[in-house]
């Protein structure tokens, strides 16, 4: 039951930890039920899927893009989302900045860290993150507000811990720099099987799908 799942998870989360409902493949009705039970943020992986849900639901909660943003979808993304959690290049940041300039808005973004250094995955390598953050900070219509990481998918949640630890260390280092136009406010880490470990390692935003909605029906 979606409502019961949401209420249980919200009761478990420490104060200040934000629940993002990862809504990939979910119906507008499922999303509405989760929001009605207290979910403050809807996380979508794809712009097109988000647009379809948004056309039914409107701004019933905040909408975050938590999947990779293709450059040809930036214009549509900035018109819909309240935050983009997956910025991993200056080129993508510049496109977001350009489209936000046209709309007269500033887009909060998180920098996605490829903490597992997986070549097939999106995200900036940890050692390149500071340069990217400094570059993004120079764009007037973007506001860097923290970091996000996925970490490698494994069966054992405990195996995710080192990747969360490294991302938190990076988060703290960047916060200590005191960079202009950068606010290390959000650390988005952890999914349904790893969010408890992520919180132990400093996450204050968790992206949870199957533990709210049940397993996805794919194929």
pLDDT tens track, the chain, 219 positions: 999 999 999 999 999 999 999 999 999 999 999 999 999 999 999 999 999 999 999 999 999 999 999 999 999 999 999 999 999 999 999 999 999 999 999 999 999 999 999 999 999 999 999 999 999 999 999 999 999 999 888 889 999 999 999 999 999 999 999 999 999 999 999 999 999 999 999 999 999 999 999 987 653
Report how far Cα 92 is from the mean position of its chain's Cα atoms. 16
CA dist 76 and 94 (Å) reads 15
**8 A C-beta contact, residue 198 and residue 208:** no
pLDDT for 215 equals: 87
Burial tier of 106 (Cβ tally within 10 Å: 0-12, 13-18, 19+): middle
SS3 letters for the chain?
A: CHHHHHHHHHHHCCCCCEEEEECCCCCHHHHHHHHHCCCCEEEECCHHHHHHHHHHHCCCCEEEECCCCCHHHHHHHHHHCCEEEEECCHHHHHHHHHHHHHHCCCEEEEEEECCCCCCCCCCECHHHHHHHHHHHCCCCCEEEEEEEECCCCCCCHHHHHHHHHHHHHHHHHHHHHCCCCEEEEEEEECCCCCHHHHHHCCCCEEEECHHHHCCCCCC
pLDDT for 190 equals: 95
pLDDT for 218 equals: 52
Distances (CA, A) of 198 to 4, 87, 108, 117, 208: 22, 20, 22, 18, 12
Phi and psi torsions of 107, nearest 5°? -95, 120
pLDDT for 108 equals: 98
Q: What are 64-119's pLDDT values in tens digits? A: 999 999 999 999 999 999 999 999 999 999 999 999 999 999 999 999 999 999 99
pLDDT for 219 equals: 37
Domain extents in the chain? 2-213
Q: Which of the listed CATH numbers 3.20.20.10, 2.40.50.100, 3.30.590.10, 3.30.450.20 matches domain 2-213? A: 3.20.20.10
Which pTM was predicted?
A: 0.96
Nearest of 113, 110, 111 to residue 167 by alpha carbon: 113
Q: Which residues contact 76 (CB under 8 A, 6 or more apart)?
A: 47, 51
pLDDT for 88 equals: 97
pLDDT for 151 equals: 84
């Amino acid at each position: 039951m979606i409502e019961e799942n949401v209420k249980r998870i919200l009761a478990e989360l420490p104060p200040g930890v934000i629940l993002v409902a990862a809504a990939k493949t979910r119906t507008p009705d499922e999303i509405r039920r989760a929001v009605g039970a207290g979910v403050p943020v809807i996380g979508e992986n794809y712009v097109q899927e988000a647009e379809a849900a948004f056309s039914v639901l409107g701004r019933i909660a905040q909408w975050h893009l938590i999947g990779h943003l293709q450059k040809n979808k930036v214009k549509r993304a900035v018109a819909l989302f309240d935050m983009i959690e997956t910025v991993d290049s200056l080129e993508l940041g510049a496109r977001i900045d350009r489209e936000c300039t046209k709309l007269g808005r500033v887009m909060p973004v998180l920098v996605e860290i490829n903490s597992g250094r997986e070549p097939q995955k999106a995200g900036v390598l940890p050692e390149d993150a500071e340069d990217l953050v400094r570059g993004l900070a120079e764009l007037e219509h973007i506001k860097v507000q923290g970091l996000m990481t996925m970490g490698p998918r494994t069966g054992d949640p405990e195996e995710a811990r080192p990747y969360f630890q490294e991302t938190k260390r990076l988060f703290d280092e960047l916060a200590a720099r005191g960079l202009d136009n950068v606010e290390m406010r959000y650390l988005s880490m952890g999914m349904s099987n790893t969010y408890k470990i992520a919180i132990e390692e400093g996450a204050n935003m968790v992206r949870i799908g199957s533990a709210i909605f049940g397993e996805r029906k794919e194929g």
